[in-house]
Amino acid sequence: MRGNEPTLGQLGEFPMIDRLVAGRRQPNTTQLGPGDDAALVRCADGRAVVSVDMLVEGRHFRLDWSTPEQVGRKAIAQNAADIEAMGARPTAFVVGFGAPAHTSAADCTALADGMWAEAEQLGAGVVGGDLVQADRWVVSVTVLGDLAGRSPVLRSGARPGATLAVAGELGRSAAGLQLLRDGVGTGDFAELRRRHLVPQPPYGQGVVAADAGAQAMTDVSDGLIADLGHLAAASRVTCDVSRAALAPDYGALASAGAAVGADPWSWVLGGGEDHALVAAFPGAVPGGWRAIGHVVEGPAQVLVDGAVWDGLPGWQSFDSGAPLP
């Protein structure tokens, strides 16, 4: 019990689900929401963009750092970013949630509240889910998106001569993680900590990029160098990034870097989870985007000011990378 709230074990799966879905609003793309064997979502242009991300407690979030609502927001936001990175708009989310039987129903509701709030901000709906018992929290979110007739913007289309540009901010999430790990973060740094707990992808800019003729696009989930590396490999080009163009990100993190003794470049170039978008434009960079470098002929690699960067390679999913904390 937490206060007068029952646990998941006391309440049981179906009464908990009834609580989770009661009174939620759905957008008009949701033709049938939670409550039957499956949901029904409108895919007006005859296609669905689809992606999945799984978040594991202790690996992708900590419940002593994040509120359940923040976990819910983060899970929705990072999935939405994958849809944005195709030049599409998220329309619907389905959620697999595993948690211990002793989890309070209030925490489960707060997780769902965060998901619904973030989805609503996107004009999308949480249309279905599954609730099961697990040793630790695990949140698996699948997102559907709508291209509205556009061609998807792949990672493989970047051509020499294109301008690389970013929508959204870089390095905030990694800085916030370091501040949380080091127990630093009152006052000025509270916002950076929040950025780690709930990323703020540049919603809507994926469609802007597609409409502006972006040749290739991806979201920065593992780190700018790492994710541009995927784009460079898929496009068989070299991506050359300019540190001068990233100076605003560096500057925003300089005092946090000094506070924890870290090099802000490692956050800007190597830090993931901000879910900024990076794209290659053959012509002018649209509003909301800022140029950060160029696509050039050469082997599939990422250069910083023309040289190989020797910093951190970005997030790794298995233990060669660093788990929390």
Question: Using CB under 8 A, which residues numbered 291 to 320 contact a copy of itself?
Answer: 316-320
> Is residue 258 near a copy of itself by the rule CB under 8 A?
no
- Which listed residue (38, 117, 254, 258) binds a copy of itself by CB under 8 A? 38
Amino acid letter at 246? L
Piece of 44-52, 63-71, 116-124, 164-172 that binds a copy of itself (CB under 8 A):
44-52
> Is residue 28 near a copy of itself by the rule CB under 8 A?
no
Piece of 82-90, 238-246, 256-264, 279-287 that binds a copy of itself (CB under 8 A):
82-90
Nearer to a copy of itself, 37 or 64 (CB): 37
> Is residue 212 near a copy of itself by the rule CB under 8 A?
no
> Is residue 122 near a copy of itself by the rule CB under 8 A?
no
User: Are 172 and 223 spatial neighbours (Cβ–Cβ below 8 Å)?
Assistant: no
Residue 113 annotated as part of some ligand binding site: no
- Which listed residue (50, 117, 258, 322) binds a copy of itself by CB under 8 A? 50
In 3D space, the residue among 196, 197, 248, 239 whose CA is nearest the CA of residue 217 turns out to be 239
Reduce the DSSP state of residue 59 to 3 states and report it.
Answer: coil
In 3D space, the residue among 201, 63, 213 whose CA is nearest the CA of residue 143 turns out to be 201
Piece of 123-131, 172-180, 247-255, 302-310 that binds a copy of itself (CB under 8 A):
123-131
Residue 298 CA neighbour count, 13 Å, CB half: 15
Exposure pattern of 80-92 as b/e (b: 16+ CB <10 Å)? bbbbbbbbbbbbb
Piece of 97-105, 164-172, 187-195, 258-266 that binds a copy of itself (CB under 8 A):
97-105
Q: In what order do the strands lie in the sheet with 125-133?
A: 125-133, 89-99, 138-146
Residue 309 annotated as part of some ligand binding site: no
Contacts of 33 (CB under 8 A, 6+ apart): 21, 24, 26, 39, 125, 127, 128
Mind giving me the DSSP string for 140-157?
EEEEEEE-TTPPP--STT
Tokens of 87: 């030049």
> Is residue 47 near a copy of itself by the rule CB under 8 A?
yes
Residue 221 annotated as part of some ligand binding site: yes
Nearer to a copy of itself, 221 or 238 (CB): 221
Distance separating alpha carbons of residues 83 and 66, to the nearest angstrom: 24
Q: How far is the CB of 211 from a copy of itself (least distance, A)?
A: 17
- Which listed residue (1, 2, 25, 52) binds a copy of itself by CB under 8 A? 52
Q: Which of residues 131-170 bind a copy of itself (CB under 8 A)?
A: 131-136, 138, 140, 142-145, 147, 152, 154-156
Nearer to a copy of itself, 181 or 230 (CB): 230
Separation in Å, CA 281 to CA 84, 205, 207, 244, 290: 16, 13, 13, 19, 11
Residue 315 annotated as part of some ligand binding site: yes
Q: Which of residues 167-206 bind a copy of itself (CB under 8 A)?
A: none
Residue 73 annotated as part of some ligand binding site: no
> Is residue 264 near a copy of itself by the rule CB under 8 A?
no
User: What single-letter DSSP state applies at residue 131?
Assistant: E
Give the annotated binding-site residues.
37, 51, 53, 60, 82, 129-130, 155, 219, 221-222, 273, 315
